[in-house]
Amino acid sequence: MLKQRVVTAVVMLLILLPALFYRTALPFCMVAMVLIGVAAWEWARLNGYSQVHALLSGLLCLLSCAASWWLGMLEQSLPLLWMVTGACWVLAGAWVLHRGVAAWASHSRTLRQFAGLMALWLAWLAVAQARTVGVNFLLSILLLVWVADIFAYFAGRALGGRFSRGKLAPSISPGKSWEGVWGGMIGVLALAFGWQAADKVYASTVPSLFSSLGSHGAWQLLVGALFLAAMSVVGDLFESLVKRSAGVKDSSGLLPGHGGVLDRVDALLPTLPLAMMLFSF
């Protein structure tokens, strides 16, 4: 399993890194669009659609991304769109997680499918806009999510259950603990303030998410970083809820050792649009 994970990770990096650091945003946006299309296929399968319908869902998501690209939305300021998207993630995410796994299947399958495709399209639009702003900006968002996940994993393993009375969401993801959440947030705060300081020292011409938030005071950087870290947990739990409802461990087996594309991007689905919302304002 470890060998599979390493080989898959290396192959993914060989594809993503050249696209990310290319002089224009074109290659990265195209790679991200393909990944989102695959994630749409996985989403349809998780919601009980046939292979044909799932493939059509992936194609529809690809076409939606391409249309928004053609319409010039990557270069447009869209504060209202990001504000509405952010509000939906905060309110609907909390509501769905509160109702639990058993309630998920009671919602209309068409509604579930539409919500998922919208979330994936908006995540692609957000990541494409972030890359258009600059590599420094996009990397600061991606690393926020990755650091939150890594610190949560190690804090959970080392301290899980020692200070809190119960698990974070035992019916959705039994392995997650409150200690892991706090550990992830500590890691994110260290990253945020460290990155902001580095931006000042090296006078980066491209803003990072952290320098943008910190330009209005340390309190805004503190609150913004913690908020995004918390929403990355919501995205992770949301996908876990859907998978548990479907009775599967992974969204697919396309990435050996890692599961599916949705398993890799779940925490980014709410974080990317919310980061663009904060940046827009």
Q: Could you report the per-residue pLDDT of 179-229, keeping only the tens digit for each?
A: 899 999 999 999 999 999 998 887 667 789 999 998 888 999 999 999 999
Evaluate the CA torsion angle 54, 58, 64, 70 in order and state its sign.
negative
> 259 forms bridges with which residues in the sheet?
255
Q: What pLDDT is stored for residue 200 in this prediction?
A: 83
* CA atoms of 184 and 144, how far apart (whole Å): 9
Q: Is 183 exposed, middle or buried (0-12, 13-18, 19+ CB in 10 A)?
A: buried
> What was the pLDDT predicted at 160?
67
| Mean of pLDDT values over 79-85 | 96
Q: Are 172 and 244 in contact (CB under 8 A)?
A: yes
pLDDT greater than 90 at residue 54: yes
pLDDT, position 209:
93
For residue 12, pLDDT over 90 is answered with no
Q: Which of 191, 277, 275, 182 is nearest to 233 (CA)?
A: 182
At residue 167, does pLDDT exceed 80? no
Question: Which of 2-6, 17-21, 56-60, 144-148 shows the lowest per-residue confidence on average (mean pLDDT)?
Answer: 2-6
Q: pLDDT class for 6, splitting at 50, 70, 90?
A: confident
Written as six digits, the tokens of 180 are 């892991």
Least confident of 6-20, 50-64, 263-277: 6-20
